[in-house]
A = this chain, B = another copy of it.
């Protein structure tokens, strides 16, 4: 498999939501993108606020834009906020530099896409993304 098909994306969404409910997280929005940064599947849980899709998309899209998990984008934003602001502008506005945007790789390390989750703390969002990716039998890269 060298792309992220819909069935896999649905498994990631289901796995992330199962983790969230078991861990008692707040309502989440889960966004799954293919390697090109395009939407494959989204679910916004009841109570997750209006623009949570855009936030989750920005985490995953930012991760794919620079080829690193959004946790690394946060580290860079803390060191050089002007760099992350500039890249956000350069890529068209969709880059949210806090944890919760996680790259998806297969067993050979091939990049398949990314997951962006938002709704609870950034750390909890990231943990849900990792849980979803692993539930689909794939590897998560958080930084």
| Interface residues in chain A, defined as those with a beta carbon under 8 Å from any beta carbon in chain B | 2-3, 5-6, 9-10, 34-55, 57-58, 62, 64-68, 74, 77-78, 80-98
Contact = CB atoms under 8 A, between A and B. Distances in A.
Task: Summarize A's interface: helix, strand, loop or mixed.
Answer: mixed
Given A55-B90, A90-B94, A98-B80, A42 B45 contact: no
Interface centre among A38, A43, A94 (most CB of B within 10 A): A38
B91 A86 contact: no
A65 B51 CA distance: 5
A41 B38 contact: no
A62 to B, nearest CB: 8
What copy number does this chain have within its complex? 4
B88 A89 contact: yes
Contact of A82 (B52, B68, B81): B81
A41 to B, nearest CB: 5
Given A81-B82, A89-B88, A67 B50 contact: yes
Contacts of A34: 36
A31 to B, nearest CB: 8
A65 B49 contact: yes
Contact of A97 (B48, B68, B78, B82): B82
Contacts of A51: 38, 64-66, 87, 90-91
Contacts of A98: 80, 83, 86
